[in-house]
Amino acid sequence: MELHELTIHELHDRLKKREVSSVEATQACLDRIAATDEKVNAYITVTGDEALAAAAAADSRIAAGDMDLLTGIPLALKDIFLTKGTRTTCASNILANFIPPYDATAWLKLKERGAVLLGKLNQDEFAMGSSCEGSAFGPTRNPWDLERIPGGSSGGSAACIAARQATATLGTDTGGSIRQPASHCGCVGLKPTYGRVSRYGVIAYASSLDQVGPITRDVTDAAIMLGAVAGHDPLDSTSVDLPVPDYAKSLVLEVKGLKIGLPKEYFIAGLDPEVKSALEMAMETYRGMGAEFIDISLPHTDYAVATYYLIATAEASSNLARYDSVRFGHRTAEPGSLIDTYSRSRDEGFGHEVKRRIMIGTYALSSGYYDAYYLKAQKVRTLIMQDFLRAFDQVDIILTPVAPTPAFRIGEKTSDPLQMYLSDIFTIPVNMAGTCGISVPAGISQAGLPIGLQLIGKPFGEETILRAAYAFEQATTWHKRKANL
């Protein structure tokens, strides 16, 4: 197997035995990026020279016996993470030339362990999208079919893994933005419980929903990455001060007696037959391993999308007010009065979807409408959260689809925002509840497109969903399939 195709744990074993160097592994990934990214467009910025220098430092560290699981491992980050001295754009013209003065906590933790940064990955602008078509730097394409979307908003993070351009990546998930692209690209994508991973240094979209998580080739790598970035951070007021388990130790094949909930609201008429078939096959796999299925109800599911698009847009309206062209970011070449300069700069800097969401959110927060929209949405969010907590009184985890269909064609839904928003109908409730979820490869459609399976856990129940995901992965071969790129 070529170096750019190895998982974290496979490459770590080779580095530890001195069979290969970090410089060689990093160069292999850079060569792969050079060979494939013109087609895929997963990267906004490639940091080749810096990566090779970091890899050389990692090799020296390994030679001195100072080695961690992530030392010398070449990784890439969604371009929403601040990286000191390296351009961070959030896929927006308004930040096209922004160089951050400090690192996001999640990246700092990886860097301190000796990880190597290959570059920054494409996404929907400000993480607002479900297809990775909304980037100021052009759409990312799905390596399984270049005419199809990779999912969003962390589309570059998932496409990068599917194209074998990095060993692992980090993305963010506000309404499904890790799990949905992982499903569409045949990867493993983990959205941790809100507060499990620091958001400090992550450019904010919707602060009460955003969460950092890994996209990897297999479940073992997801556990390794989560263990590396999880933990309390005093710089993030929403970070929870709980011990971080050794997630890798939860990866056992035993799921006998595990109670898995099947919510009737997720198995709907609009579900693609091939997605439904993949889920039914997955259920048989679990039954064969001794898991028990229980029918459950999450009665407020129907309100999740509408609730999300009020809360998320309201928070986006507030968060994006800071991009005023005065302190940093794009400024129009033809400034006039202060208000005119604001208006022109924001009009030129923000894309259509970002403008749409800012306007929706500003309206929802405006005088006379706040109680009717934003406040009501927060009350419904509480009901959705209570649905999950009641369900977890009966079951250990919940099994659902990730997306209603396999990846759709580029341009298919751009003219119909509502259809685009419904792409996240099965992932949004997890963010509303603040709990954890994972997408695992579970099938391939007749058109040769990956289909994912979603496992939802209790708050801070990452160990249980990782165990269930690992058992399924080891009982099947879907995670070993790869894009023919």
pLDDT bucket at 348, cuts 50 / 70 / 90: very high
Cα–Cα distance for residue pair 314/291, rounded to 1 Å: 41
Residue 175 amino acid letter: G
Percent of the chain scored above 70 by pLDDT? 100
pLDDT bucket at 31, cuts 50 / 70 / 90: very high
Q: How far is CA 71 from CA 23, 34, 445, in A?
A: 12, 24, 37
Q: Does the domain formed by 3-252 have CATH 3.90.1300.10?
A: yes
Task: Tell me the per-residue pLDDT of 195-240, one tens digit each, with 9 for 90 and over.
Answer: 999 999 999 999 999 999 999 999 999 999 999 999 999 999 999 9
Residue 269 is predicted with a pLDDT of 83
pLDDT bucket at 417, cuts 50 / 70 / 90: confident
pLDDT bucket at 1, cuts 50 / 70 / 90: confident
Is the backbone of residue 413 left (phi > 0), alpha (psi -120 to 50) or beta? alpha
Give domain limits for the chain. 3-252, 303-376
Residue 242 is predicted with a pLDDT of 97
Residue 363 is predicted with a pLDDT of 95
Residue 165 is predicted with a pLDDT of 98
Rounded average pLDDT over 463-467? 98
Contacts of 83 (CB under 8 A, 6+ apart): 77, 100, 103, 104, 107, 117, 120
Task: Tell me the per-residue pLDDT of 280-291, one tens digit each, with 9 for 90 and over.
Answer: 999 999 999 999
Contacts of 468 (CB under 8 A, 6+ apart): 255, 258, 260, 286, 291, 397, 455
Rounded average pLDDT over 469-474? 98
Rounded average pLDDT over 105-115? 98
Residue 328 is predicted with a pLDDT of 87
Task: For the chain, give the mean pLDDT.
Answer: 97
Residue 327 is predicted with a pLDDT of 84
Catalytic residue among 21, 78, 111, 439, which? 78
Query: Is 183 tagged catalytic?
Result: no
**Chain CA centroid to CA 355, Å:** 22
Residue 379 is predicted with a pLDDT of 97
The partner residues of 457 in beta bridges, in order of sequence, read 397, 436
Query: Is 78 tagged catalytic?
Result: yes
Residue 425 is predicted with a pLDDT of 95
DSSP string for residues in 84-139: TTB---TT-GGGTT---SS--HHHHHHHHTT-EEEEEE--SGGG--SSS---TT--
Task: Tell me the per-residue pLDDT of 376-390, one tens digit each, with 9 for 90 and over.
Answer: 999 999 999 999 999
Residue 396 is predicted with a pLDDT of 98
Picking from 57, 55, 72, the residue whose alpha carbon sits closest to that of residue 12 is 72
Task: Tell me the per-residue pLDDT of 167-198, one tens digit each, with 9 for 90 and over.
Answer: 999 999 999 999 999 999 999 999 999 999 99
Catalytic residue among 130, 131, 154, 177, which? 177
pLDDT at 268 over 90: no
pTM (predicted TM-score): 0.97
Residue 23 amino acid letter: V
Catalytic residue among 21, 130, 135, 153, which? 153
Q: Is the distance from CB of 469 to CB of 440 less than 8 angstroms?
A: yes
pLDDT at 422 over 90: no
pLDDT bucket at 334, cuts 50 / 70 / 90: confident
Picking from 71, 203, 91, 231, the residue whose alpha carbon sits closest to that of residue 157 is 91
